[in-house]
A and B are shown apart, each in its own frame.
Chain A
Amino acid sequence: MFVHHFKYSVITLFKNKMLIFWVYAFPIILGTLFQMAFSNVEHSEKFHAFDIAIVESDTVQNNEIYREAFRSLSDEQSDHHLFNIQYVTEDTAKELLDNQEIAGYVVLTDPVNVIVNSSGAEETVLKYAVEEIAQQEAMIHTLINADMQGAFEAEQSHRNPEEIYQQAMALIQDDTVNIEDVSGEHLSYIVIEFYTLIAMACLYGGILGMVSINNSLANMSNQGKRISVSPAPKAKLILSSVLASYVAQLIGLFILFVYIVLVLKVDFGNHLPFIMLLTLAGSLAGLSLGILVATGMKANENSKTGILISVTMCGCFLSGMMGVSMKYIIDTHLPVLNKINPASMITDGFYALYYYDTPDRYYQDLISLFVFSGLLILLSIVSLRRQQYDCI
């Protein structure tokens, strides 16, 4: 009886076109859209050398500090490559700026004049860089003055000013700043979008559980009435329905995973068994949510579906699907909300695997998902027990 009911539950689920769309096709479509839209975002945020112009003048020709600094900043081989520089007349620079071919241009006056169109990131970098050169120039002058004064006091009038200047330049250019960058290599926040997508697919799987249970409930469908009057044990029927929807859900998730990892090339880190375990737990949470909505609510199937989709979408919204920063805002200001939100538990579990070296946070999320599922299944059992109808 168990196998028979299991088989027909699976067939019934796969014949429902709307279910197939929401559980199988929709996450894949959404994932494709995410990939199309976000594939360039992080690349755009990274720093790239940009075009600027410097207005030619005698000052530029004679000021070695600026000439050398701009040469170094425009050297494509250098680590400090910030700009692609054109040396032009002021009129040409204005024209280039008007045509948005350059981010801004520099006129060497005292203080140095930087002309830009608007206040953007590139313009800010240009300002910072020019200031840095001006500061280097000031530093060299201070050093030369101190040196000259020292020479004067020591009555070393034989010291050549050119020699002092070269020494000061060498001192500044020789200097290396001791900064060590210890950031991890996994810093792509766009992956969170895909983690929430998996979370959404896990929770949408609840619709399968809900439809499957509805098919066995006497008050929800004619098929349910037929099943209820049959002599088959109710526990077996419910269990086989639930198992059928869990299997259907896992097939959908497997297809989604294959698509995301092999086609969209999203990085999930190197923890395949942990990822699978988390997905199984996430699907169980989705399934238990679907079962609770099916058993605990006295409403028609459309309302139940509406509620389930709303709960799922709200959960995904809070876990960062419509804006990655939302998860962080909730985590820092109202952490309890994300502690009871299954979508957030799933997303956070993937995030912990991707970003952190230690598995503590992952296990915490995993256990939370099992506790969540256990509680919901318990509530469903309580509401399903001893359900009998004299007439419907």
Chain B
Amino acid sequence: MIVFKTFLKVLYKCKMPVILFTVILILFGVMNDSTSDNTASFTASKPDLVIINQDEEEGITKSFIEYISENSNVKHIGNDNEQLDDALFYREVSYIIYIPEHFRSDFLKGENPKITVKSTGDYEANLAEMLVSRYLKAANVYIRELDSEDEVIRQVRETLSKQAQIEITTQIDGAEISRLVVFFNFANYSLLAGGIYVVCLILSSFKDDNIRKRTMISSVNEKQYNRQLLFSNSLFMIFLWALYCILGSVLLGDIMFTVQGLICVLNSLIFSLCCLTISFLIGNLINNKNAINGIINVVALGSSFLCGAFIPMEWLPDSILAVAHFLPSYYYIKTNECLKQIEVFNAATVQPIVINTLVIIIFMIVFITITNVVSRRKRKIG
């Protein structure tokens, strides 16, 4: 109990940096959630594009613009070239269509006028190009066969109105689950960074030479002392985890109260405890308070980047993922990613989740064992 009381006293003393750091990490989580559309998925079925029309908006030109506008998200960025190029570079739009002067008259003469485009070359740009080329192709064919412009426009529109029937087999709300997974994947950084910062900060106070000497000559045995410290610190970790989950239920809404949400919450709880053991090990290894910030950046940022906390795991190169297998974050994030694909929860589909959880627990046991060994070896002072 005395260890726990001291822990609370130290925590109270460090309240300002602890609160500030926790708030910053939680804010990062919120910001990541609000901007995750740009990074996590590229499922938009309508490409973002700009149309710069230098011709008069009449006849076939008007019909072409209307068709593209109906099937894409047309953005109005202005006519300034620098603004347009910036928008393309930063993927605000994927495609820019320049309709030249006299497009309509050249087209009616059967000259197949040139359309200039700028493209990012990604999926969305590909979709945009398909739209442009399918319209122009149909129009080019009909202009050779039909006499009047109105008839060409009518036939092109009729042809292009042919749609395929789409059947989506899965019942999972992909977008909502993706958002849930992105939010909890980011927790990898928040929980690790928060855990290491606070645990190391508190442990460094316990590691003052005089205090350690005093503890060592006391009747409390080393393992028991470590266990009490670990349990005390786990309180903070659970507080941080709860804060993140509460924030998740505010931001994500109903999806948090589904089986997927529950698995994410439980998975993050186990990972929080794993973060605690990692932090405890680091706290026992270092003696310098100033080094904490450096270690947070290396450990938390490192494992977050390597295991896919910031960008989707499927985008990481295989070599990086091979290295990531040696980090607990990988198994935590893998469980979250599994949820995107599981439709029915049964023994077979849940098996990978159970295996990942077991691996995290094994990591925890390994970290606790190493901590005990390190702390015993470091008993000698002076």
Contacts and interface: CB of A to CB of B under 8 A. Distances in A.
Interface of A: 18, 21-22, 26, 29-30, 33-34, 36-41, 44-47, 97, 100, 109, 111-121, 124-125, 127-132, 134-135, 137-139, 142-143, 146, 171-172, 175-184, 187, 189, 322-328, 331, 351, 355-356, 361
B305 A33 contact: yes
A113 B301 contact: no
Interface stretch (B124-132, B201-209, B219-227, B367-375): B124-132
Contacts of A109: 165
B117 A180 contact: yes
Contacts of B19: none
Given A37-B311, A131-B164, A177 B294 contact: no
7 contacts: A37-B310, A121-B124, A135-B159, A135-B162, A142-B159, A181-B117, A183-B119
B88 interface: yes
B174 A118 contact: yes
Contacts of A29: 297-298, 302
Nearest to B91: A189
Interface string B311-339: 10011110010000000000000000000
Nearest to B87: A328
Contacts of B134: 132, 135
Nearest to A48: B123
Given A119-B174, A121-B43, A45 B122 contact: yes
Contacts, number: 206
A94 to B, nearest CB: 8
Interface of B: 28, 31, 35, 38-39, 41-43, 45, 82, 85-92, 112-124, 126-127, 129-134, 136-138, 140-142, 144-146, 155, 158-160, 162-170, 172, 174, 290-291, 294, 297-298, 301-302, 305-306, 310-311, 314-317, 320, 341
Contacts of A97: 169
Contacts of B172: 118
* From A36, A38, A127, A326, residue with most partner B Cβ within 10 Å: A36
Contact of B165 (A47, A111, A325): A111
A369 B119 CA distance: 32
Contacts of B142: 139
A220 B364 CA distance: 44
A177 B137 contact: yes
A265 B208 CA distance: 45
B43 A119 contact: yes
B309 to A, nearest CB: 9
